[in-house]
Amino acid sequence: MENVEVKTEETVVTAENLPETASKGRGKKPFNKDNRKNNDRKPIRREESDMDKKVVSVRRVTKVVKGGRTLRFSALVVVGDKKGKVGIGMGKAKEVSQAIEKATTIAKKNMKPISMVNGTIPHEVNGKFSTTNILMLPAKTGTGVIAGGAARSVIELAGITDIVTKIHGSTNKINCVQATLNGLLSVKTKEEIAARRGKNPDEI
């Protein structure tokens, strides 16, 4: 048999003849600030709403359970469009911001229309809730809103600009807000009463 000689060439790898993929580190692309993924994100669009809201109260609530005490927050929020619609809501959560957000969502779902005449209520009304009574009287233009803090938030967000109120009994914020809303919902205009009775407004 003939002897076959096999020649092998040895190549020395230096910095000059190093392959491009090896110099960049196992094929990884270099970091470029211009190619960030954040540039491709779309801006968050928030829906513009005509609703105004007021946080009436935020309370710290402690619940005693078998494992100990759990701390939560309770928020009372009033939402209205200042055009005759208003609603109230309460929410509980472990954080204040989440509680306010829950209460706002509930208040928007519970919005109800309120009868008004020239920026005030058409007649005297007494709102009741629990041990709280609130007397509301119509007022002439320029009087303004004469009401306490909790009742004022409901009246202003409903769109009433002139009214006189007086609270009797408990001044608890939750009771005052609910009593004010109950009183405003019981208000009826002359046209609404006539339509219910099947008569003309002039006959009443």
What sign has the CA pseudo-torsion 148, 153, 154, 158?
positive
Tell me the pLDDT tens digit for each residue of 124-180.
999 999 999 999 999 999 999 999 889 999 999 999 999 999 999 999 999 999 999
Q: Across 21-158, where does the E strand assignment appear?
A: 52-65, 68-80, 85-93, 112-113, 125-129, 132-138, 145-146
* Tens-digit pLDDT profile for residues 68-95: 999 999 999 999 999 999 999 999 999 9
Closest CA to 112 of 159, 171, 61: 159
2 pLDDT above the threshold of 80 = no
Q: What percent of the chain has pLDDT over 70?
A: 75
pLDDT score at 196: 80
| Tokens coding 83 | 């055009």
Lowest-pLDDT range, 34-43, 103-112, 157-166?
A: 34-43
pLDDT of 26 higher than 80: no
* Model pTM score: 0.71
**pLDDT-derived band at 197, boundaries 50, 70, 90:** confident
HSE of 138 in the Cβ direction (CA atoms, 13 Å)? Answer: 14
With cut-offs at 50, 70 and 90, classify the pLDDT of residue 191: confident
> Are 121 and 163 spatial neighbours (Cβ–Cβ below 8 Å)?
yes
- Phi, then psi, of 193 in degrees rounded to 5: -70, -40
Sorting pLDDT into bands at 50, 70 and 90, what band is 16? low
Tell whether the model's pLDDT for residue 192 goes beyond 90: no
